[in-house]
């Protein structure tokens, strides 16, 4: 058990599972009109909201949307003098990625919903979209089509108000394609799946108004 989870801490924002579930439900109503074709979960934080969203995005008579998991490792070039992540020599390793051949996933002209739990420094989201964009453009080129036909949508449970270390494309941020269920101050968010004692955790979430059930 990690020490930070052994007891509740008034300075943290406690989130219950049912709250996460309802944030996904609420967001799904906004996401549905954008007709996502595929969900990409950024692991490990995106796994749970992505799986919940899949239920709410299910259309009657249609199969479930597919959820593909991706995991990125980012290694910053420690010799770089720039503090701007976009200009540093960040090495991006696709620890887990989409196997386009085996999964028969074609990103060209599709609406791809990228899901993570929290937008903290924005770095992971930035690189995830940047890498997926490269793949989409390569797929388009292989089909003799112009690049840029893939629409990326972003969903996070919480966006922290703080200086971000990386940016997302204007065609996402300025067109309603970035959705945060809640915009929150830069505090420690205690997600239920990180809790080692879910009873006091849930009680704190209820006390803080982050549980709609009780």
Residues that bind a copy of itself (CB under 8 A): 1-3, 5, 16-18, 21-22, 25, 41, 43-44, 47-48, 50-52, 54-56, 58, 60, 64, 67-69, 71, 93-99, 102-103, 192-196, 198-199, 202, 212-213
Which is catalytic among the residues 119, 120, 159, 211? 120
Q: How far is the CB of 132 from a copy of itself (least distance, A)?
A: 15
Annotated active-site residue 120? The verdict is yes
Q: Which CB atom, from 52 or from 154, has the smaller least distance to a copy of itself?
A: 52
Written as six digits, the tokens of 179 are: 């959705």
For the bound state, the minimum distance from the C-beta of residue 181 to a copy of itself, rounded and expressed in Å, comes to: 15
Nearer to a copy of itself, 99 or 186 (CB): 99
DSSP string, 60-116: TTSPPPEEEEEEEEEE--TT-----TTTS--EEEEEE---HHHHT---TT-EEEEEE
Give 49 or 178: the residue with its C-beta nearer to a copy of itself. 49
CA distance 202 to 214: 10
Return d(Cα 25, Cα 161) in angstroms, integer: 23
95, 88, 107, 90: which is closest to 69 by C-alpha?
Answer: 95
114 class by beta-carbon count within 10 Å (0-12 exposed, 13-18 middle, 19+ buried): buried
Q: Which residues share a beta bridge with 160?
A: 184
Q: Which is nearer to a copy of itself, 93 or 161 (CB)?
A: 93
Shortest reach from residue 214's CB to a copy of itself, in Å: 8
* Catalytic (active-site) positions: 120
């Amino acid at each position: 058990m990690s020490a930070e989870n052994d007891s509740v801490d008034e300075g943290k924002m406690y989130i219950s599972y049912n709250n996460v579930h309802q944030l996904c439900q609420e967001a799904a109503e906004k996401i549905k009109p954008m007709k996502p074709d595929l969900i990409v979960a950024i692991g490990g934080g995106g796994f749970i909201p992505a799986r919940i969203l899949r239920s709410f995005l299910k259309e009657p008579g249609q199969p479930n949307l597919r959820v593909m998991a991706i995991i990125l490792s980012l290694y910053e070039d420690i010799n770089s003098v720039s503090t701007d992540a976009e200009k540093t020599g960040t090495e991006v390793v696709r620890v887990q990625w989409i196997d386009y051949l085996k999964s028969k996933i074609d990103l060209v002209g599709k609406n791809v919903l990228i899901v993570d739990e929290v937008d903290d420094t924005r770095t992971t989201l930035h690189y995830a979209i940047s890498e997926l964009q490269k793949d989409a453009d390569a797929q388009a080129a292989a089909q003799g089509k112009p690049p840029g036909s893939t629409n990326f949508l972003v969903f996070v449970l919480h966006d922290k108000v703080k200086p971000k270390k990386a940016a997302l494309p204007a065609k996402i941020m300025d067109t309603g394609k970035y959705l945060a269920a809640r915009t929150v101050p830069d505090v420690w968010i205690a997600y239920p799946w990180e809790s080692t004692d879910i009873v006091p955790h849930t009680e704190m979430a209820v006390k803080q108004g982050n549980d709609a059930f009780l």
